[in-house]
Amino acid sequence: MRRVQVIRSRKTWDVVIVGSGAGGGMAAKVLTEAGAEVLMLEAGPKFDTARDSKMFAWPYDSPRRGMAVPARQFGEFDAGWGGWTLEGEPYTSAPGSQFDWFRTRMLGGRTNHWGRISLRFGPDDFRRKSLDGLGDDWPTTYDDLKPYYDEVDKLVGVFGSVENLPNEPDGIYQPPPRPRCYELLVKQAADRLKITCIPNRLSILTRPLNGRPACHYCGQCGRGCATHSNFSSPSVLLPPALKTGRLTIVTDAMAREITTDATGLATGVSYVDKKTGRDTHVQARVVVLAASACESARILLNSKSSTFPRGLANGSGTVGKYLTDTTGTAVVGFIPRLMSGVAHNEDGAGGAHLYMPWWLDNRKLDFPRGYHIEFYGGRGMPRFGFLGNIEQLTGIEGSGRPPGAAGYGKQLKDDYRRYYGATIGFSGRGEMVPNADTFCEIDPSVVDRWGIPVLRFHFKWTDCEYKQVKHMQETFRGLIQELGGTPLSPMPPKEHGYGIEAGGRIIHELGVTRMGNDPGSSVLNKNCQAHEVKNLFVADGGPFVSQADKNPTWTILALSMRTAQYIAEQRKTGTV
């Protein structure tokens, strides 16, 4: 990878991109290949999977056995450099709101450690208001995005199967890996309960692609793949961009404001050079914000001027509004049939090989939007916390021993061996409907360590989400029962939101710089171009008009590709 350069010239870049993740990386690739001189600002340090990945580490390589540490809150071997709390980078929540905000500060951002679940939004997902009257329709349709999804599939590589399901568009797939043992059991149970269960759609190569080798099934995608066999921005998007010779990346650069001229056009980006603490400015003809949804909103809101007293591109007051996250809850079950399993390497690809897309009709239910189901289990690498709370399993495994009497000694040692690989966990990932009480804004009092005003979050779930999550819990308990197993937790009561995760915990923040045809209620037009600032674009999850029962990353990639191609065309005609 090309060495980082220190900016000394007063050069005007064709495009400055803030952020190196899915959206930023894709925009850099498309724009450099179209001839633009691009500067990319990344808040974190350089991360190189070939050098920095902890792939193949054993837990005993560290005295901490892989536990989370403050600097790596998904685990000390995980590729994610960051977490819910960053030293010197606070955020606040309004009274009565709980929002947990995950920041990954590294080249490639969250694409280094995400789950690789690569689902296209379906035709219905772009027109929910037309279907059920809630929220808003996108100004684009599935058909507008389909050509870009196709290109993303071919560029990045994704495995899956053609299923012809109405709202789960099929992609251009590599073959999916065979299911694991426990996944076959789940499939049987799902079939009996008439829950659709199909091969997963993960951006993990099962065939070589564009010089990247296929997966070697170590199951450690989250540690960063040293062979680039899964999708991350630095593995797939940055190399071709750098190859053009037209991309310069500056790391440890905390963007804080977009500057404008008297005509209201963006002129560049001010950022803090974290290494020196000095404020720096780079000039740009076009600015693409892709700092992750809420960070981009924060930059806009902090870019105040007499032309834009409420923040850049925020004449409508929409920046920060319509914030959503995916809903989530989980149930783990103990499955006696899986005890004392045949020893074998069950790692597989770094994610489940099967999943369950939304299979019901919301018109027949008491909640408006759907969810998909992920599950996990098996004979994985032992981690800190291995078979914790083992006393929960005594008595439910059919031994006839009194419940809770896990004891100690040889019997206990044998129990650990028998129970290993015999639990299965189910997680739901559902669509939240935007509501007026959920948004982010600038906190009037608090700044971070560089003096940049921070975000204050307001977050509320409504019955749309609570009832959906109740349904998830009931469905998972039904699946565990069908498997002949026992759930390891009681049904969460209504007072605990039926077990709904706190806002932000699923790390799919969307909507805070949304698209729309009406400049009075949206920040961007259908090309992700700011209504009020024609040389300003947003390419992360902020433009989304709605969530879906599907993860957002694939749509971020497709949308960013489309936006960047639009920018390239506009540059050619001189309109931007």
Partner 1 sequence: MLGLLVSAPVAAGFVWTEAEAREAHHQAQAARQAAKKAGTTFKPKFFTAHEYATVAILVDVIIPKDERSGSATDAGVPEFMDFIVGDQAPRQTAMRGGLAWLDRECERRFDRRFVACDDAERRDVLDDISGPQPPAATLTQGVAFFRMFRDLTASGFWTSKMGIADLQYMGNTLVAEWKGCPDEQLRKLGIA
382-441 residues near partner 1, rule: CB under 8 A: 382-391, 402-410, 412-413, 416-417, 420
Give residue for tokens 């390239």. Answer: 568
List all residues 6 or more positions away from 36 whose beta carbon is below 8 Å from its beta carbon.
14, 15, 246, 286, 568, 571
Residue that the structure tokens 């759609």 belong to: 201
Query: Residue 416 or residue 466: which is nearer to partner 1 going by CB?
Result: 416
* Residue 65 binds to partner 1 (criterion: CB under 8 A): yes
Helix, strand, coil in percent for the chain, rounding step 5: 25, 20, 55
Phi first, then psi: what are they for 324, rounded to 5°?
A: -140, 160
Of the two residues 103 and 508, which places its CB atom closer to partner 1 in the complex?
Answer: 103
Is 351 a binding residue for partner 1 by CB under 8 A? The answer is no
Q: How far is the CB of 61 from partner 1 (least distance, A)?
A: 4
Strand partners, 247: 38
Residue number with CB closer to partner 1 (129 or 344): 344
Position among 1, 69, 446, 447 found at the interface with partner 1 (CB under 8 A)? 69
Question: Tokens 């772009």 appear where?
Answer: 126
Under the binding rule (CB under 8 A), the answer on residue 369 touching partner 1 is no
What is the pattern of x (binds partner 1, CB under 8 A) and - over residues 286-325? ----------------------------------------
- From 155-163, 282-290, 341-349, 530-538, give the range in contact with partner 1 by CB under 8 A: 341-349
**Which of 90, 240, 341, 519 is in the footprint of partner 1 by CB under 8 A?**
341
Q: Looking at beta carbons only, is 159 or 322 nearer to partner 1?
A: 159
CA 368/CA 185 separation, integer angstroms: 30
Q: Does 245 bind partner 1 (CB under 8 A)?
A: no
CB 528 within 8 A of CB 557: no
| Strand residues in 122-252 grouped as ranges (E) | 198-199, 247-250
Q: How far is the CB of 193 from partner 1 (least distance, A)?
A: 17
Residue 240: C-alpha distances to residues 29, 113, 177, 207, 564 (Å): 6, 21, 28, 20, 15
Is there binding between residue 188 and partner 1 (CB under 8 A)? yes
What DSSP designation does 170 have? -
Smallest CA-to-CA distance from 324 within 83, 539, 126, 511 is with 511
Q: Establish if 162 lies at the interface with partner 1 (CB under 8 A).
A: no
**Which has the closest alpha carbon to 510: 434, 406, 569?**
434
CA-to-CA distance for 395 and 404, rounded, in angstroms?
7
| 10's tokens | 């007063």
CB of 412 to partner 1, least distance (A): 7
User: With binding defined as CB under 8 A, does residue 56 bind partner 1?
Assistant: yes
Tokens of 520: 């009075």
When the beta carbons of 243 and 417 are compared against partner 1, the nearer one is 417
State yes or no: residue 88 binds partner 1 (CB under 8 A). no
Nearer to partner 1, 231 or 420 (CB): 420
Residue 330 or residue 387: which is nearer to partner 1 going by CB? 387
Structure-derived torsion over alpha carbons of residues 240, 242, 243, 245, reported in degrees to the nearest 10? 140
DSSP 6-57: ---S--EEEEEEE--SHHHHHHHHHHHHTT--EEEE-SS----HHHH--TT-
Cβ neighbours of residue 162 closer than 8 Å, sequence gap 6 or more: 170, 173
Question: Which ranges constitute the DSSP H helices of 361-502?
Answer: 410-419, 463-482
We find the least distance from the C-beta atom of residue 161 to partner 1, in angstroms, to be 15
99-138 residues near partner 1, rule: CB under 8 A? 105
Q: Does 497 bind partner 1 (CB under 8 A)?
A: no
Among 209, 238, 319, 349, binds partner 1 (CB under 8 A): 349
Binding pattern to partner 1, positions 14-43, x when CB under 8 A? ------------------------------
Q: Does residue 484 interact with partner 1 by CB under 8 A?
A: no
* Single residue of 7, 131, 381, 488 touching partner 1 by CB under 8 A: 381
Among 16, 185, 507, 545, binds partner 1 (CB under 8 A): 185
360 binds partner 1 (CB under 8 A): no
Here's the x/- map for partner 1, 191-220, by CB under 8 A: it reads as: ------------------------xxxxxx
**Smallest distance, Å, CB 267 to partner 1?**
33
Interacting span for partner 1 (CB under 8 A) from 51-59, 92-100, 311-319, 368-376: 51-59
| Residue in 8, 16, 473, 10 with CA at minimum distance from that of residue 266 | 16
